[in-house]
């Protein structure tokens, strides 16, 4: 089998990381959905990530970067090729008012590090569940702040495995997009520029934003977070709510009663249930308001 060959050819190169054949991806996604990866690679170092990217490129093997799995829906049939999971590349280092973070670090953890050091500017990220790599790719934001407000530079790999350092301007960060997502780059690390702040003020803001998130979002259920981008002039959640879709869905998937912008895995949903519910929402909102909802989440993999 191909994945066995890939495993055998990579096992002597990936010595600090982990290689897993036919690994269920539901263990690695926030929705708890998804079939298996032909080969899951969890690199232990940036060099091992680079080796994997180059190996896939030179052997024409499809390569998917999963990140923290917070903004991705994996279909029930799983993913053909190699899937990269960066949970071991999670280093965070302070340098004055700069924060250096590896791609697999959670942006929530970076926010916590900043708060402990009385650095302000990244409080908005205290509730974003994704990794630095994913946050960079989609210019993640919440509560009036975005990655583009604080980013200084990022180191990425091209599809061919070449390391490139991109400045803030070169990252071309826009609403839920960047040159990273547009060109299919793989983030290795990022440097954020913050400013000195008042510890009490920072803690108060983080506490307020955390309360808002916990009181308004259905965190008690697995989900992909906000499913849809904000349509110009509207709020996706309000459109869905006013379409009377809360509590409705397919199989074990349901539009959240707590926040209409979330679709939850309420009762052992399949990815098919989740995607059918997404499509139902799009159809009903289009019918009622003539607004085309655009996905913020990414759907990958094959049907069962």
Look at the domain 2-84 and name its fold. Answer: 3.30.43
Alpha-carbon distance of 224 to 269, in angstroms, equals 13
Chain-centre distance for alpha carbon 288: 30
The per-residue pLDDT for 127 is: 87
- Total-model pTM: 0.92
The per-residue pLDDT for 143 is: 86
Active-site residue (options: 123, 131, 176, 178): 176
Is position 226 annotated as part of the catalytic site? Answer: yes
- In a structure prediction context, what are the per-residue pLDDT tens digits for the chain, which is 304 residues long? 789 999 999 999 999 999 999 999 999 999 999 999 999 999 999 999 999 999 999 999 999 999 888 889 999 999 999 999 999 999 999 999 999 999 999 999 999 999 999 999 999 999 888 899 999 999 998 888 999 999 999 999 999 999 999 999 999 999 888 999 999 999 999 999 999 999 999 999 999 988 888 888 999 999 999 999 999 999 999 999 999 999 999 999 999 999 999 999 999 999 999 999 999 999 999 999 999 999 999 999 999 8
Q: For 92-201, give the CATH class.
A: alpha beta
* Domain map (residue ranges) of the chain: 2-84, 92-201, 218-300
H or E segment and range at residue 38: strand 36-42
- C-beta separation of 47 from 274 below 8 A: no
Active-site residue (options: 36, 226, 243, 256): 226
- C-beta separation of 103 from 39 below 8 A: no
Q: For 218-300, give the CATH class.
A: alpha beta
Is position 200 annotated as part of the catalytic site? Answer: no
Q: Is the dihedral of CA 234, 240, 243, 246 positive or negative?
A: negative
Active-site residue (options: 48, 102, 123, 296): 296
And the tokens for 108? 């929530």
The per-residue pLDDT for 142 is: 87
H or E segment and range at residue 254: strand 253-255
Specify burial of residue 8 (Cβ count, 10 A radius: 0-12, 13-18, 19+): exposed
What strands, in cross-sheet order, belong to the sheet with 79-84? 18-24, 36-42, 79-84, 63-65
């Amino acid at each position: 089998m191909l994945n066995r060959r890939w495993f055998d050819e990579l096992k002597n190169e990936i010595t600090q990381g982990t290689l897993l054949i036919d690994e269920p991806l539901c263990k690695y996604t926030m929705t708890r959905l998804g079939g298996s990866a032909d080969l899951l690679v969890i690199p232990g170092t940036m060099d091992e990530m680079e080796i994997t990217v180059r190996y896939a490129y030179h052997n024409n093997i499809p390569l998917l970067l999963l990140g923290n799995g917070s903004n991705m829906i994996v279909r029930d049939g799983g993913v053909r090729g190699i899937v990269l999971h960066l949970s071991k590349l999670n280093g965070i280092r302070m340098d004055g008012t700069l924060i250096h973070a590896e791609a697999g670090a959670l942006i929530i953890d970076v926010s916590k590090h900043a708060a402990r050091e009385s650095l302000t500017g990244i409080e908005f990220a205290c509730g974003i569940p994704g990794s630095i790599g994913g946050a960079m790719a989609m210019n993640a934001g919440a509560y009036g702040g975005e990655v583009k407000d604080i980013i200084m530079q990022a180191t990425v790999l091209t599809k061919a495995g070449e390391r490139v350092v991109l400045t803030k301007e070169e990252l071309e960060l826009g609403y839920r997009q960047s040159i990273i997502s547009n060109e299919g780059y793989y983030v290795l690390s990022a440097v954020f520029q913050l400013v000195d702040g008042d510890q009490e003020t920072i803690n108060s803001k983080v506490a307020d934003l955390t309360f808002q998130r916990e009181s308004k979002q259905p965190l008690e259920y697995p989900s992909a977070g906000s499913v849809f981008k904000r349509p110009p002039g509207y709020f996706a959640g309000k459109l869905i709510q006013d379409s009377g879709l809360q509590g409705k869905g397919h199989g074990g998937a349901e539009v959240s009663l707590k926040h209409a912008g979330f679709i939850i895995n309420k009762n052992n949903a399949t990815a098919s249930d989740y995607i059918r519910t997404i499509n139902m929402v799009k159809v009903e909102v289009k019918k009622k308001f003539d607004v085309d909802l655009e996905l913020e989440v990414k759907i990958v993999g094959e049907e069962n």
